[in-house]
Chain A
Amino acid sequence: MFRPRSLALVAAVAATTAATGCGAGDLVITTFGEDFIETAIPSEFFADGGSVAFSKFLVTFSEMTVNGADGKVGGEVAGPVVFDLHEAGPAEVATLTGLEARRYEDISVAVGPATDATLGGNAASDDVEFMKAQGFSVFVEGSVSQNDVDKTFAWGFSTNTRYVDCELEDGSLGVVVPPGGAGEWQLTIHGDHLFYDDLASEDAVLRLSAIMTADSNDDDVIDIGELNAVDLTSLPADQYGVGGASDVLSLGDFVGALSRTLVHHTGEGECTAEKR
């Protein structure tokens, strides 16, 4: 269900396109964590059993641009702005108003470290300040359970990624602004990606065992340092494949690389992630 949130970002938006002969419309940019982030990832989705429940899923969005493939400028939402995808959504990020009604093929968004200029979206003010202080682009917190063992995790990432060439599941590029109406561009966040066991293979599955056993001091808290201490060569050769990412050496590196794959275009649509 679409729920309008703060309109602060509407004021910050630069909608530069004047209406022309095709009419004009609006584009509403939303973000949504779906059931996997808002509720849980149940055990049937994990190859080795277990489940994950997020209690917080913070993402810093910025540089949302909407342009035509012919160079037509649609608009931009500069951000940066922090949203908590664990909150019930979809949440409105911003609205671009008065755009020429047409398809805008070239849309992009960045997920990068929060800065002093970062605003709050639907995230709690304390969380926004936390993201700024840590310079995080993504922060996730929650619990994992496997074989009647429960642990918690809190992982922050400062990765800087730009998502471009976004296409819908049907292969169509970008978004459509209808005349006299409002189109929607949803930044769909796939929280399950953090638990995939391969960076490139079509056969990647969700796994938990290596993450659970990373808790080297057995305090039932799995932190990033513990993930970094797991050398991938200690794991079976047919799991946690890195493809061409030769700089991914530890489980921490691996999950960090996966943090660059979270953003999808309106459901199951895909973008190309540029590492910055």
Chain B
Amino acid sequence: MGGSGVSMGVGLGRLMASGVVGAGLVVGAMVGVGCDEAPAPTSIALTVAIDGVGLEGLQSTGGYVATVTAASLCIEQLQTHAGEAVLASTQPSRLPRGWPSVGDVRDALLSFSSARAHPGHYDEGGLMGEVTGTTVVDLLATTATTMPVGDGISGHHGSASITLCTDANLGGALLLEGTASRDGTDVGFRFVVQAPEVIEGIPVDVELGGDGALAVHVDLAGLLGRVDFDAFPAQTPPVVPTAPPPGSQPDNAVGRAIRASSTYHVELLP
């Protein structure tokens, strides 16, 4: 394929081969771009750094304050797409929390919400970027964990999807461990959650004119905020982390939270 000076790097070519958007834009570049037309997309490098947030004063349903002593997430891929996210909420969560979650902050900043009016009709649009590489992230670390550098094309990145992975050391995709306390009562918790289906429709909404760096903040308050710690046995010290029974409310709460796109907040790093 010839072109009017557009660089068809490996990344751009592969993203075109994946099928969807970008192709029309690149065709426009191949026949020549007029002065009044949008610039043709270019290949860019895309980096992703992941960390955990929402840890301070983490309070859950029932008024337990959770102290997280271990939190790790296995992620193998992040893709960005041209399409916008679905059903972003404008209402802050009604859960009592000692510290606003990133979801609450994001929701407060949104001036509207919209969705394709049909479940499952999130229109992801064309693939805009892809970062791949099995990465285990310590969500308690003070510095973010960076995934291997990926590829992308310039333009509007509307939404993202995340694929989690199974790590043998974690026993699954997510490990959360710690103590929840209320009125002098302590319970030890340990959640090991298996990787769900691809988590889609995470809002991104950034313009990338060149190489870009995205931050993914994993909301620990979102992961634990709806757990009913009354379901765990009270313990006298030393508190031992205990796993909830499969299908129990705590198990369902964390299992749902790991699947919710609102647990992951993506922003452009300066």
Contact = CB atoms under 8 A, between A and B. Distances in A.
Interface of A: 161, 163-164, 190, 193, 196, 198-204, 231-238, 241-249, 257-258, 260-264, 270-275
Contacts of B256: 232-233, 237, 241-242
B252 A236 contact: yes
A193 B119 contact: yes
Given A243-B201, A244-B261, A247-B94, A238 B117 contact: no
Contacts of A196: 119
B93 A272 contact: no
B118 A244 contact: no
| Nearest 6 pairs of A and B residues by beta carbon | A237-B255, A247-B91, A273-B117, A202-B120, A204-B119, A246-B262
Contacts of B145: none
A223 to B, nearest CB: 21
Interface in B198-246: 200-203, 222, 226-228
Contacts of B203: 244
A249 to B, nearest CB: 7
Interface stretch (B21-29, B81-89, B132-140): B81-89
A151 B92 CA distance: 34
A237 B251 contact: yes
Contacts of A271: 116-117
A222 B103 CA distance: 32
Given A238-B255, A247-B94, A200 B262 contact: no
Nearest to A246: B262
15 contacts: A199-B86, A201-B120, A231-B249, A236-B247, A243-B122, A244-B86, A244-B203, A245-B88, A247-B90, A247-B91, A247-B93, A249-B226, A264-B118, A270-B117, A275-B114
Given A233-B226, A237-B259, A238-B255, A272 B116 contact: yes
A134 to B, nearest CB: 22
Nearest to B114: A274
Contact of A203 (B94, B104, B120, B228): B120
B115 interface: yes
Select the residue from B88, B113, B119, B197 with max chain A CB neighbours within 10 A.
B119
B118 A245 contact: no
Nearest to B247: A236
A246 B259 contact: no
Nearest to A234: B249
A194 to B, nearest CB: 11
A262 B103 CA distance: 27
Contacts of A264: 117-118
Given A237-B256, A241-B260, A261 B118 contact: yes
B196 interface: yes
Given A196-B119, A233-B253, A275 B261 contact: no
B56 interface: no
Contacts of B114: 164, 272-275
Contact of B86 (A200, A232, A235, A237): A200
A181 B146 CA distance: 61
B87 A257 contact: yes
Contacts of B118: 190, 193, 261, 264, 270
B76 interface: no
Contacts of A258: 119
Nearest to B222: A246
A243 B87 contact: yes
Nearest to A197: B119
Contacts of A246: 89, 91, 93, 101, 103-104, 107, 222, 260, 262
A154 to B, nearest CB: 23
B87 A199 contact: yes
Contact of A200 (B90, B113, B222, B261): B261
Contacts of A262: 117
A275 B249 contact: no
Given A233-B253, A234-B252, A245 B87 contact: yes
Given A237-B259, A243-B261, A274-B112, A200 B120 contact: yes
Nearest to A257: B87
A262 B115 CA distance: 12
B116 A273 contact: yes
B119 A261 contact: yes
B196 A238 contact: yes
Contacts of A203: 120, 197
A263 B117 CA distance: 7
Nearest to B255: A237
A28 B107 CA distance: 39
Contact of B117 (A241, A243, A272): A272
A46 B95 CA distance: 32
B244 to A, nearest CB: 11
A271 B116 CA distance: 6
